[in-house]
Chains A and B, each alone.
Chain A
Amino acid sequence: GQNIDQPTEMTATEGAIVQINCTYQTSGFNGLFWYQQHAGEAPTFLSYNVLDGLEEKGRFSSFLSRSKGYSYLLLKELQMKDSASYLCAVRDDGNAGNMLTFGGGTRLMVKP
C-alpha cells in the first residue's frame, strides 16, 4: 500500500523560513513532487526530486532522501501570498503511466 504523511497545518510569519516535511512508504518510487494549491484552485507544480539531495528554485527548495523515505519543502522569505496548501505526491509507477499518490496536504498560514 501507499502511505504519505505530512503535517496538517503550519503557521509562520511573513519574511521567515518554513520547512514542510513529508514522509512516504510506497511500493515503488519514481519521483516526488510538491504542488501548491490555493483554496478553490487547481494544484500548481512547484518542484520535482528523483535523486537524493536539494533542488533549489528561487525562494523554494525541495530535499529528498530516498533511503529515509523523506522529503521537505523549504520556503524562504515568506510572503502573504504563500498562504496555501502544499501537497506532497509520489510517482510510484516505474512505467510511463505517471500515476501520482498524494498526501493529505499541509495548510500553511502566513501571518504579518
Chain B
Amino acid sequence: DAGVTQSPTHLIKTRGQQVTLRCSPKSGHDTVSWYQQALGQGPQFIFQYYEEEERQRGNFPDRFSGHQFPNYSSELNVNALLLGDSALYLCASSRRQDPRPYNYGYTFGSGTRLTVV
C-alpha cells in the first residue's frame, strides 16, 4: 500500500519565479493538506483540499494556491517566489470520514525541499 508521494524531492528556483509541487495521497484517503516547514520550525498549515475544493486556509498570501484532482492528488502552486519561501513543503493526506479516531491524524509525505535563490 503506497503511502503519500511527493514530487519533486528537491527544487531550486530563482526569486520571482513560479513553482508547482505535486502530491499523491495514500490509497483510500480523500483529503490533502499542505504545510510549510521552515528549518528548525514546526509545520505551518497552508490549506486543505477535499472534493476538489479548498476547505480551509491558513495565514498565507494569495501567491499560494492549490488544486485537487478527481483522483484526490493535489498540486501546490507558489507565484512570485520570495527568498522566505525556502522551506520543506509537506503534503499530508487523511480520510475525511474515518470512524477510527487514531486515523484522524495525517499520513505525511517526505516533502519537497524548495530553495529560492
Contacts and interface: CB of A to CB of B under 8 A. Distances in A.
Interface stretch (B12-20, B61-69, B102-110): B102-110
Nearest to B41: A104
Interface in B11-65: 31, 33, 35, 40-45, 48, 50, 55-56
B45 A100 contact: yes
Interface in B61-117: 90, 92, 94, 96-97, 101-102, 104-111, 113
B106 A100 contact: yes
Given A97-B55, A100-B45, A102-B44, A42 B90 contact: yes
A104 B42 contact: yes
A99 B45 contact: yes
Contact of B45 (A31, A101, A103, A105): A101
A98 B31 contact: yes
Given A31-B101, A98-B104, A43 B56 contact: no
Interface in A32-47: 33, 35, 40-45
A91 B104 contact: yes
Please classify how large the interface on chain B is, using the bins under 10, 10 to 19, 20 to 34, 35 or more. Answer: 20 to 34
Nearest to A91: B104
B110 A33 contact: no
Given A96-B96, A96-B97, A98-B96, A43 B108 contact: yes
- Which of A43, A48, A91, A103 is packed against the most chain B CB atoms within 10 Å? A43
Contact of B43 (A30, A87, A93): A87
B101 A50 contact: yes
A5 B2 CA distance: 33
Given A96-B97, A97-B56, A45 B111 contact: no
Nearest to A106: B42
Given A48-B105, A100-B106, A42 B56 contact: no
Given A42-B108, A101-B45, 17 more contacts: A4-B42, A30-B104, A35-B105, A42-B90, A48-B101, A91-B105, A93-B56, A97-B48, A97-B56, A97-B96, A98-B33, A98-B104, A100-B33, A100-B45, A100-B106, A102-B42, A102-B43
16 contacts: A41-B110, A42-B108, A44-B108, A45-B106, A45-B107, A48-B101, A87-B43, A89-B42, A91-B104, A97-B48, A97-B56, A98-B31, A98-B104, A99-B56, A103-B42, A105-B40
